[in-house]
Structure 1
Amino acid sequence: MESVKGWVAADYAAEPMASVQHSLRVAYVVFSFCAAFFLSGIKAVVVGPVAAAVMIVGNVGVILVLFPAHVWWAIYSLIKTDRINAGLKLAVLLALPVLFGLWLGLGILGSALVGLGYGFFTPWISTFEAFRQESEAKKFVHGIVDGTWGTIKGSCTVVRDFADICFHSYPVYLKELREGSQNREPHSIRLLDVPSCIVVALLGLVVDIPLYTVIALVKSPYMLFKGWQRLLHDLISREGPFLETVCVPIAGLAILFWPLVVVGSVLLAIVSSIFVGLYGAVIVFQERSFQRGVSYVVAMVAEFDEYTNDWLYLREGTVLPKPSYRKRKPSNSTEFSVRTNASGGKGADHPPGPSEAPAMLVPNLAPARSVREAIQEVKMVQIWENMMKSCEQRGRDLLNQNVIMAAGLAEWLRGAKEGGHHETVSLGLPSYSLLCTVLQSIRAGSGGLVLGSFEVNQHNRPQDRLLDWFFHPVLVLKEQIQALRMTEEEVRFLEKLTVFAGNVAGGWENGAGMMVVPQDPVRLAQIQAISRRLVGIVRSLSKFPTYRRRYRHVVKLLIAYSVERESSGRSSASGRSASYFEITQLDV
């Protein structure tokens, strides 16, 4: 009996203690949020103007300096290409002033908005991210340091990547337009359709821009309060981003900044309406009908209203007219469609089709995933880092075998294209690294790709549009290699063919000999097709943002490794290579 009384007394004593602990935990979270909010505000005021000025001046300078070159490259490529006929060339030439005007206006405006947003909000986010550190000392140090110099350095990195896209990726696209017409039927348009395209494009601008703006502005208050309702519900029920205590300050920052997200969504909807309206000219070209082009202009307003209703959980459908503008599904093109995620809108019951309209870029208002679930997803930066580390390791192997030389790497770094090693360094090395990754994944029995210490598959891959263009083709290529069941000699021949970008005359004794070619012509064609696809995938990857900067860093590391190897062979001094790699780690 006495023991029962003791248990009851202990229970009553434990309840106040648990209540006190809960109150202390809440008070700690509130105090931490206020301290981080005050500190991040100071850092944003001090660092924000500098980072924003660097990004705005840098990006706008790149746009203005390269603008004459962009105009000349575009006109020259349009005249030289044989992928389109004279009528379509005339239509594009007439549209170029509008397109370049949009490029200048939206480029400068976008640079200003992105620069201000990045410069002022990165210190806030970095300060609140410091609360994820385990120890209090680390939280204090990272809360002060994070978001200061790193923000300024990040703005410089953005300017560099933007310059690479404008100066390197854009000419590559135009070169493919001029030279990539083999075995392709040229696109053509009748001269009679050119005026129709112009009229429909102008009509699309006049109709879609005002109506998109009105719809976005009318629904923005509902988006504001609906988003706050969703976030507050997660806060009270401790779901989604509020599940973990360390993430509550960051989620609280999301509640405060939600109005800015709504404003950004409205601006993006207005900007997207410009391209939606201009796309009416493409509909006229595809359908050979002025009437269907006008129907497209009208239908896109109804589509936009319908999809924003779905995303904001308003009534289904739309009261606006939605005429049909397709008499057939285009075989070589898809509709210009902008969506935030595959599960938005009507979900699995209404998969996105080729005739869907661009919709307002609004975040998903459905219940968010927990932090534990989000951590399981492989991040894009991890994929980039492991790809570059693989390139570095394969490059070292090729340097040890004297397949590539430090002189060839230095020539590529200086931009020389006359040397015989240019294709090997620019395309052969990353293609060979990708091939080795695919072969390693096949040997490991992986359902995806094995990148270093982790596996990327359909379940944990990042939900990124850029990755979609890369991940699925590689998986298809992996299945094709598996289906071929190549012998060891054929694998060596494929490796050699890939390293030298299709030229098997290169001097690499990798087990395939100097000129060992499969005797079966069908087998040879299959292996050559795989090699071309590998090189083509890497050629497409080389146009992505951050790729050139990261790959140039890998080449510099390989040059340093070659110098260290030669010096260690003469003086047996091998202690500097590791320290150099530690100092020059890849930027995240």
Structure 2
Amino acid sequence: MGPPSRFWASFWTFVKFLPYFAGLLLLGAIKGMLLCPWACLIMAIGISALVLGLWPMHLIWTYYCIIRTKMVGPVVKLLLLIAATVILILWLIVTIPGSAFAGLVYGFLAPIMATFDAVGEGKEKPFVHCFVDGTWSTITGSCTVVRDLKDLLFHSYFSIMDDLRLQAPPDGKPYEIRLLHIPGAFLSAACGLILDAIMFTLIAIYKFPVMLFKGWKRLIQDLIGREGPFLETACVPFAGLAILLWPFAVLGAVLASILSSIPLGMYGAVVAYQESSVIMGLSYAASSVSIFDEYTNDVLDMAPGSCFPRFKYRKNEGSSHGGHLSKPASFDKEKQEGKKPISRVTSFKNSMDEFNPFKMLDHLFAECKRQGEVLVNDGAITMKDIQETKSDKVGSGVLNVGLPAYVILNALLRSAKANSNGLVLSDGTEITSDNRPKSTLFDWFFDPLMVIKEQIKAENFTEEEEEYLKMRVLRIGEPSNFKGTLPHVPSWDERKKAEIDAFARRLQGITKSISRYPTAKRRFDVLVKALLLELERTMGGSLPANGSQAQRLRGSIGGRVLSQKSIGKTANIRDEDPEAQITRNARTP
């Protein structure tokens, strides 16, 4: 009698929830219809003006950077110029109408999500918030999207292109294409496109009913039991719409499968070029059908493997014949590690809040503000550094690259000393391979940081070496440009110094990539304002325009990082007269 009673209890809860759900959905839809024209107007005008205004500059600067780069040879430059022309034209054609569509979608969905979120658990005055939430925030959110796109097109773009223009190839030889292997690569790509387009279409049509009915079955089970996407109130409207619109989602998956035949088929050209063999390229074109069939079987929980043959298309890999194929390596790895599948009743909200990349970014900037204030009080960050970042005179300055690298370095040192398998944050939270954000973008930064952490642990730096590394990471540029700001360690040899400088450059390179995020520039502007206020408070409310007083303070301290004892002393003398602070520091040996 247990299961029937639970079923009827869940069903009765669902019936009682229907009017509540319908009312919230109707209210959110009304708010969305009222706000989506304004959001569309803001995003369409703002994004179109940015794209049209910066397009000539992007065109000229892209051509200039490609022509001047030393990373690639003449043939690759010609191909890059052609590809850049096509991308820039498509960017102009797609972005302008796409901005209007994005504004409509955002302006309609954002109020609906805010309405359901307003009545979630722990919310005060839900009746008022379900009417208010999602109104003004939708308008400001539209402006934020335009602002972030402006930072992406203006700051991030030029930072990336400068790297392309100024960097040299690692081994001193530019990347070039072997012209003799181009015809074979084109032949492999053509065969791959024809074969994959036909076979992918047939496989997708064959598996269309399977995906349709299995998806309906799962969604209806979650609907009755209030599990999965129906567990959280904010997700209920979208999960309910998913039942009605599931056939269109399956149709979209079929079209996406057919379109995926284009890059997978063309990848045969890459294989043929890398292996210097047309046979290998054609073998990949045939094997890609088996790979696609096997992948779709795993996604739809069908019988593993594929009935299509899979040939050897890499010279250094073992061959795979016949129709039986094992599951992908990711599935085998999870099986070997004994990982259990994700529970269907797991809270969607909790899984999203646990170490998502945006939460990590928030923690990074909070630490930048906290440690930046300490460095301002110490004189390691001066008025000149703040003004350079504020006026955008440098793309890679102390605040937008050096300070985040300094924060990350402190976390790496903390993790190495704690003998952690992951990354220990300042609040004691540990990020490991189990609870870290599951995204490829995060892996691009997390994995290299773990390698650097292990190298730091192996180096076993002394306290003097750690202080030098911290200041070397904070200061951007060649060490010869700021000798007076770095701690002097006479016992070092050139090899040890070069190793530490290499650590600093790698950390600065990682944080430079982080600074190109669309939201990073906006957050750095807030950080600059906070540090500017802290510098003004430290210097008694008087900030000269030329930063001479800050330079004097910096020279008196000599760029040293405060120990715990000196930090306490700084806290006691913050309210003193600036000239008295300078005199006190000048007397300090």
TM-score of the aligned structures, taking structure 2 as reference length: 0.76
In 1: Cα distance, 2:216 partner to 2:329 partner: 22
In 1: Cα distance, 2:42 partner to 2:269 partner: 38
Letter in 1 for 2:331: A
Q: Look up the match of 1:382.
A: 359
Q: Look up the match of 1:465.
A: 440
1:439 to 2:422 alignment: no
In 2: Cα distance, 1:554 partner to 1:428 partner: 13
**Does the CA contact (< 8 Å) of 2:386 and 2:399 recur in 1?**
yes
Give the one of 112, 118, 123 matched to 1:130: 118
Q: Look up the match of 2:496.
A: 523
**Does the CA contact (< 8 Å) of 2:32 and 2:112 recur in 1?**
yes
Give the one of 11, 34, 37 matched to 2:22: 34
In 1: Cα distance, 2:10 partner to 2:294 partner: 45
**Does the CA contact (< 8 Å) of 2:43 and 2:142 recur in 1?**
yes
Question: 1:474–1:41: structure 2 CA closer, same or farther, 3 Å change rule?
Answer: same
In 2: Cα distance, 1:114 partner to 1:345 partner: 36
Give the one of 408, 421, 425 matched to 2:385: 408
In 2: Cα distance, 1:491 partner to 1:517 partner: 15
Q: Look up the match of 2:145.
A: 158
Question: 1:449–1:278: structure 2 CA closer, same or farther, 3 Å change rule?
Answer: same
1:226 to 2:209 alignment: no
In 1: Cα distance, 2:463 partner to 2:37 partner: 59
Question: 1:386–1:534: structure 2 CA closer, same or farther, 3 Å change rule?
Answer: same
Q: Cα distance, 1:475 vs. partner?
A: 1.7
Per-residue CA distance 1:16-35 (angstroms, 9 max, x = gap): 9x999988855542232111
1:311 to 2:299 alignment: yes
Q: Cα distance, 1:494 vs. partner?
A: 0.8
**Does the CA contact (< 8 Å) of 1:77 and 1:174 recur in 2?**
yes
In 2: Cα distance, 1:109 partner to 1:183 partner: 41
Q: Cα distance, 1:191 vs. partner?
A: 2.8
1:457-536 alignment, distance < 5 Å? 457-501=432-476, 503-504=478-479, 513=487, 515-516=488-489, 518-536=491-509
Give the one of 368, 374, 391 matched to 1:391: 368
Per-residue CA distance 1:126-158 (angstroms, 9 max, x = gap): 2222232335x5322232222222223222222
Question: 1:376–1:500: structure 2 CA closer, same or farther, 3 Å change rule?
Answer: closer
**Worse-matched range after superposition: 440-449 or 192-201:** 192-201
**Worse-matched range after superposition: 147-156 or 300-309:** 300-309
Give the one of 111, 116, 126 matched to 1:139: 126
Per-residue CA distance 1:381-431 (angstroms, 9 max, x = gap): 22111100111112212211222223431332221139xxx6323322221
In 2: Cα distance, 1:90 partner to 1:451 partner: 46
In 2: Cα distance, 1:401 partner to 1:538 partner: 23
1:547 to 2:524 alignment: no
Letter in 2 for 1:500: R
Give identity over the alignment, percent.
Answer: 39
In 2: Cα distance, 1:168 partner to 1:544 partner: 10
Q: Cα distance, 1:538 vs. partner?
A: 0.7
Q: In structure 1, the residue corresponding to 2:159 is in which secondary structure?
A: helix
Question: 1:223–1:151: structure 2 CA closer, same or farther, 3 Å change rule?
Answer: farther
Q: In structure 1, the residue corresponding to 2:71 is in which secondary structure?
A: coil
Q: In structure 2, the residue corresponding to 1:327 is in which secondary structure?
A: coil
1:97-246 alignment, distance < 5 Å? 97-105=85-93, 107=95, 111=99, 114-134=102-122, 138-184=125-171, 185-195=173-183, 197=185, 216=204, 219-220=207-208, 222-242=210-230
In 2: Cα distance, 1:168 partner to 1:201 partner: 36
TM-score of the aligned structures, taking structure 1 as reference length: 0.76
Question: 1:251–1:540: structure 2 CA closer, same or farther, 3 Å change rule?
Answer: same
Question: 1:21–1:238: structure 2 CA closer, same or farther, 3 Å change rule?
Answer: closer
**Does the CA contact (< 8 Å) of 1:230 and 1:366 recur in 2?**
no
In 2: Cα distance, 1:60 partner to 1:318 partner: 47
Q: In structure 1, the residue corresponding to 2:32 is in which secondary structure?
A: helix
Q: Cα distance, 1:540 vs. partner?
A: 1.8
Give the one of 56, 70, 76 matched to 2:64: 76
In 1: Cα distance, 2:108 partner to 2:300 partner: 29
Q: Look up the match of 2:331.
A: 348
In 2: Cα distance, 1:190 partner to 1:23 partner: 66
**Does the CA contact (< 8 Å) of 2:113 and 2:234 recur in 1?**
no
Question: 1:452–1:414: structure 2 CA closer, same or farther, 3 Å change rule?
Answer: same
Question: 1:532–1:97: structure 2 CA closer, same or farther, 3 Å change rule?
Answer: closer
Q: Cα distance, 1:467 vs. partner?
A: 0.9
1:546-565 alignment, distance < 5 Å? 546-565=519-538
In 1: Cα distance, 2:328 partner to 2:40 partner: 35
Unaligned runs of 5+ in 2: 318-326, 335-340, 544-572, 576-589
**Does the CA contact (< 8 Å) of 1:131 and 1:247 recur in 2?**
no
Aligned length: 525
**Does the CA contact (< 8 Å) of 1:49 and 1:119 recur in 2?**
yes
**Does the CA contact (< 8 Å) of 1:386 and 1:452 recur in 2?**
no
Q: Cα distance, 1:53 vs. partner?
A: 3.7
1:450 to 2:437 alignment: no
Per-residue CA distance 1:307-334 (angstroms, 9 max, x = gap): 22321234544556655543347xxxxx
Letter in 2 for 1:427: V
Question: 1:226–1:110: structure 2 CA closer, same or farther, 3 Å change rule?
Answer: farther
Structure 1 vs Structure 2 CA RMSD: 4.0
**Does the CA contact (< 8 Å) of 2:70 and 2:167 recur in 1?**
no
Letter in 2 for 1:426: N
**Does the CA contact (< 8 Å) of 1:164 and 1:548 recur in 2?**
yes
In 2: Cα distance, 1:430 partner to 1:279 partner: 38
Q: In structure 2, the residue corresponding to 1:192 is in which secondary structure?
A: helix
Question: 1:235–1:156: structure 2 CA closer, same or farther, 3 Å change rule?
Answer: same
In 2: Cα distance, 1:61 partner to 1:214 partner: 44
Q: Cα distance, 1:73 vs. partner?
A: 2.9
Q: Cα distance, 1:482 vs. partner?
A: 1.6
Letter in 1 for 2:180: L
Question: 1:517–1:186: structure 2 CA closer, same or farther, 3 Å change rule?
Answer: farther
**Does the CA contact (< 8 Å) of 1:283 and 1:293 recur in 2?**
yes
